[in-house]
Structure 1
């Protein structure tokens, strides 16, 4: 993780310090506040370490000009909020920014080797140096976290006194001073030595990363949430914490939810209604809606009543069928179904206003070259807008798209908004022929191969969940794994042949019994692939050539035969023939964290070449 650059203290346009008189510690991009350095994450600035504070009170210190509101009704409804806000842009004239708190508090001095809490070194105000040695203090390399999202200091005192039978009630009562130094013999944990001046034998940090290391000390998670501040009480938690490197990706993983802006929401005309939808949904008939609008806007509504009625009808179309209360998964699936329908139907640019944020058209070329490949329905998405919101975060385990367990909240109280970013770009949408896909997916060899992936994924999800009985079924099906792997090889192909960085492209999968589509689109807010280059790849002749080339490239991996003959790969065996040398992508480009992949479903295996959906390309 590359730390942000150090920045000087801010001043206003008049040369005065900002109102809150807070020191500026660094700067990051807006998008990083959603994906990398979000609430609850640890961030390194020079030789200091901080945790990004929660969103309590952010409404008062995030100004509208530096942190504007953005709207995406479909996603807001899914997440139970009224609107979203961009993280504040920060420059030399900014009044405020994203706040941080020092964490971990345990520091060591490289000169005297003492290991204390930061304040016990008596550093001068605004500096992080030893009050005696004047040397820069070093934040603890180690922290502890549990799967419920709690974060705490590593218990150095218990670790060094474990042979003496130390307990939580006697912590720190020996009167000694802890010291931390390296023997210099190696870079392993065995060379990091912790000692206490009370006379107990010095110990190394070796073994501190074992799953049962803290449990063996009799320690349980204290339920602390330092990102919310000391005034927020700790939660009760009976889980066992684990030791982590401060910069490990396991310390913080974002839970992101996203939606495309599609008609009738994609022209921005409905944005003024963002705070009134809950009331409007309860009303019956045009007359009641008209009266509510007049009361809400103290006169004429900025949105005509006819448009409001049409928007309400469109929203109700996404309500899941049935009398039971819909789960989050059901609502998210309904959101994807509506996007799939709109991508298939298109939205012609010539019929839309200049403010339209979703333009999707059929290519002009003859689709005949795609028919032998089983590819159908290509669409050129010339303009799209995606909103990605930070819903929560997890620790120790990657968030899984099919579970909602062990999510740590961004604030101590409920919010009517969430931090989000918007991406405007373009893409290519394609589908696989349903008849050919159905016949292929019912083949015995295909079903058996995917069942191995599904069983491994289900097992991993149950191990992560606090209540295995509440875990949803794994989404791994033959068509899902096939479409997922196909999107990866297409992104890799466009990265190699069309000049796109792989990290600048992203997949969006539409897979269930009624859907079999892929959207590959520009996924960054910079200029990579934003001038029509990706859309041009969706013309049938080019797309057919790309699919053929991608499949041929996927037929061989530099790790073969180990890769293609692998019985299990990836986290918990959730992949088969897939590795970083063939189909894996940068994590930001994949919806499923590079799991549920198998290129054998595209190209077959040496023993069964006909297993692959596109095996005819290799045979021709």
Structure 2
């Protein structure tokens, strides 16, 4: 678990360049409240609660800070660890700039053993946000300094809370000296440029003007779920004016909000100047408040050139480019300088000299990086994995540092003929890197892509990004490529595919970002083979969860499905895997299912189960038609949908009719890739 260490002060206004140090007072021995307020797994910090997201704790919420503030935590260590993976680092540099020199793990706080205090100075720095609170007893609404904070129990960070001291209650006669619990006010403002700000409650209730009775009026937030008013009502205790929050909702309500964004980044404690986007109302727990942008790879055996590049990256991070250049011609001194930071005992001089040259090689120019960025495709990360899996002759050569161990399994003669290969992934290592995040729209909903990512540092140019290293196991299944290509051509001419393509266009036009007006929706629509592999993967995940010992939410998919292009050969395969970032790996229950007899029975059960749904015939014949814009066909929660931790496309692009022959609402026959379940 990684601990959360929030920062808050009397005024909450820090200098723009001041580093956040939640543990600073603890070092001086003058702290009264403890820094730790909660913990989270690295995977949740990667995909759900990373920098800029809002993490809801039992009594208030915090926002993990930007990467500038993580430096204060890392400086408590003589050596900052890094995750070495040249292939992923190269992609991160293309997407986020050549100044990126490392992938770093989260500041890990190991579980304490006995009286040990090891790791107590590590954790994720964060800021309390939102910083407007509402008293649960008297409805008082005010900023953070008007409430008292308590967090004194050493083993109960969940008891940390803000309280309204001397709260009079709703009757107004009895003051509670101990204070009444306060909770965050839920309303916020955001924009398409990723800024996030507090809702201007005082300006709202006074309709853009100042209170005529007081310079800083007291406000109350009252629930009004009766009559015509829905939601909360803001009341000025000084002048008596009231206004419901329901007026701020929707497109009409947006016209009543401030027309100019202040450009606030709470995770950076900074403001951008000149934001031209219009603010919109958003609730604290809204699902579109924070979308992570990540890239991940499965670590493959490295070539000699990649090993040299990896060592060059390690030299840059461990001792710095300046010292590498200083001792480039004196390798013995270089080894002494790196001692304790990097183990070079088994590296010969020739390899070290090559790594030094690689570390000192000039980075691509900005023009070259932009050219690579324009040509980059996310599929490029999958291509090396697919190509390695096509070379069984390399599998026995497992003597490498990649952590990958795969075995070509005998194919059961009774296994469906359209499944050409089964590969057991006995051990694997997966590296996941955080590129940034967006608000309001996911990355596939914007046209400027990387330019839409919210800054992770105050200057917008981080020199490293957070990453996790997961270990686990999996099973790879490959479909017959020629059969897939023939089947795909038959699907492209069906009315079902026309309906899916039209629905995707409607969905994109209605839900696209305000910044994505020049995107061709058809370029974002996966090909039929992807729908086939995706639906098959979900069916297998459901069935594997019943036999592997792992919950369905812990199994994830990795789809290799693309047609042939001049840059890459065609692919049609899927990997079902399970990984863990906080242990040495998994227990082998999943890879055991690759046994030929078990795999045959599992595939048969999965396809037979996919042929039936408790929502049939409604589910089996579901086809989007104008004005419908859903991105699935014969698929629903009863038969095909998986948890969001398992699916790489958020349960979009699924249709059981691509998998099997199912009845349709028309006379048209849609050929399922595996045919009828009567055949197996």
Per the normalisation by structure 2, the TM-score is 0.76
Alignment of 1:93-172 (within 5 A): 93=118, 94-119=120-145, 121=146, 123=148, 128-133=162-167, 134-162=179-207, 166=208
Structure 1 range deviating more: 495-504 or 520-529: 520-529
The separation in 2 between residues aligned to 1:423 and 1:432, in whole angstroms, is: 27
Cα deviation for residue 140 of structure 1 reads 0.3
Q: 2:652 aligned to 577, 585, 595, which one?
A: 595
Give the 3 Å change call, closer, same or farther, for CA 388–172 of structure 1 in structure 2. farther
Residues 1:543 and 2:599 are matched in the alignment? yes
Cα deviation for residue 293 of structure 1 reads 6.1
Q: Which residue of 2 aligns with 1:418?
A: 465
Q: 2:633 aligned to 573, 576, 582, which one?
A: 576
- For structure 2, the 5+ residue unaligned runs are 7-20, 94-99, 111-116, 152-160, 168-178, 318-323, 336-343, 359-363, 564-569
Tell me how large the CA RMSD over aligned residues is.
Answer: 4.1
Secondary structure of 1:190's aligned partner: coil
Secondary structure of 1:179's aligned partner: strand
Secondary structure of 1:219's aligned partner: coil
Q: Which residue of 2 aligns with 1:611?
A: 671
Give the 3 Å change call, closer, same or farther, for CA 324–392 of structure 1 in structure 2. closer
Structure 1 range deviating more: 452-461 or 266-275: 266-275
> What per-residue deviation string (whole Å, max 9, x for no partner) do you get for residues 550-570 of structure 1?
111111111222222222399
Q: 2:311 aligned to 268, 272, 276, which one?
A: 272
Cα deviation for residue 185 of structure 1 reads 4.7
Q: 1:179 aligned to 201, 215, 220, which one?
A: 220
Q: Which residue of 1 aligns with 2:545?
A: 495
Secondary structure of 2:248's aligned partner: coil
Secondary structure of 2:288's aligned partner: helix
Give the 3 Å change call, closer, same or farther, for CA 253–442 of structure 1 in structure 2. same
Alignment check: 8 A CA contact 2:549 2:589 kept: no
Cα deviation for residue 420 of structure 1 reads 1.0
Cα deviation for residue 184 of structure 1 reads 6.3
Alignment of 1:447-462 (within 5 A): 447-461=494-508
Q: Which residue of 1 aligns with 2:586?
A: 530
The separation in 2 between residues aligned to 1:44 and 1:565, in whole angstroms, is: 40
Alignment of 1:90-489 (within 5 A): 90=109, 93=118, 94-119=120-145, 121=146, 123=148, 128-133=162-167, 134-162=179-207, 166=208, 175=215, 176-183=217-224, 185=226, 190-199=230-239, 201-229=241-269, 232-264=270-302, 271-274=310-313, 294=329, 298-299=333-334, 303-304=347-348, 305=350, 325-327=371-373, 330=376, 332-346=378-392, 350-353=396-399, 355-363=401-409, 365-372=410-417, 374-400=418-444, 404=449, 406-413=452-459, 414-444=461-491, 447-461=494-508, 463-464=512-513, 466-470=515-519, 473-489=523-539
> What per-residue deviation string (whole Å, max 9, x for no partner) do you get for residues 23-42 of structure 1?
22222223322122210011
Cα deviation for residue 17 of structure 1 reads 4.2
- For structure 1, the 5+ residue unaligned runs are 279-288, 314-318
Give the 3 Å change call, closer, same or farther, for CA 590–428 of structure 1 in structure 2. same
Structure 1 range deviating more: 598-607 or 454-463: 454-463
Q: Which residue of 2 aligns with 1:89?
A: 108
Q: Which residue of 1 aligns with 2:81?
A: 68
Q: Which residue of 1 aligns with 2:621?
A: 565
> What per-residue deviation string (whole Å, max 9, x for no partner) do you get for residues 425-472 of structure 1?
111112111121111111157654234334433554452261322567
The separation in 1 between residues aligned to 2:466 and 2:369, in whole angstroms, is: 32
Q: Which residue of 2 aligns with 1:283?
A: none
Q: How many matched pairs?
A: 587
Alignment check: 8 A CA contact 1:108 1:139 kept: yes
Q: Which residue of 1 aligns with 2:36?
A: 24
Q: 1:78 aligned to 82, 91, 98, which one?
A: 91
The separation in 2 between residues aligned to 1:441 and 1:292, in whole angstroms, is: 58
Give the 3 Å change call, closer, same or farther, for CA 171–49 of structure 1 in structure 2. farther
> What per-residue deviation string (whole Å, max 9, x for no partner) do you get for residues 467-509 of structure 1?
3225671141111111111111111110124332111111111
Structure 1 range deviating more: 455-464 or 512-521: 455-464
Per the normalisation by structure 1, the TM-score is 0.83
Alignment check: 8 A CA contact 1:71 1:271 kept: yes
Alignment check: 8 A CA contact 2:312 2:355 kept: no
Alignment check: 8 A CA contact 1:578 1:584 kept: yes
Q: 2:70 aligned to 52, 55, 58, which one?
A: 58
Give the 3 Å change call, closer, same or farther, for CA 614–38 of structure 1 in structure 2. same
Alignment check: 8 A CA contact 2:42 2:581 kept: no
Secondary structure of 1:418's aligned partner: strand
Secondary structure of 2:425's aligned partner: strand
Give the 3 Å change call, closer, same or farther, for CA 114–246 of structure 1 in structure 2. same
The separation in 2 between residues aligned to 1:189 and 1:307, in whole angstroms, is: 72
> What per-residue deviation string (whole Å, max 9, x for no partner) do you get for residues 195-222 of structure 1?
1235464233224332442223453332
Give the 3 Å change call, closer, same or farther, for CA 393–445 of structure 1 in structure 2. closer
The separation in 1 between residues aligned to 2:679 and 2:670, in whole angstroms, is: 9
Give the 3 Å change call, closer, same or farther, for CA 371–118 of structure 1 in structure 2. closer
Cα deviation for residue 65 of structure 1 reads 8.0
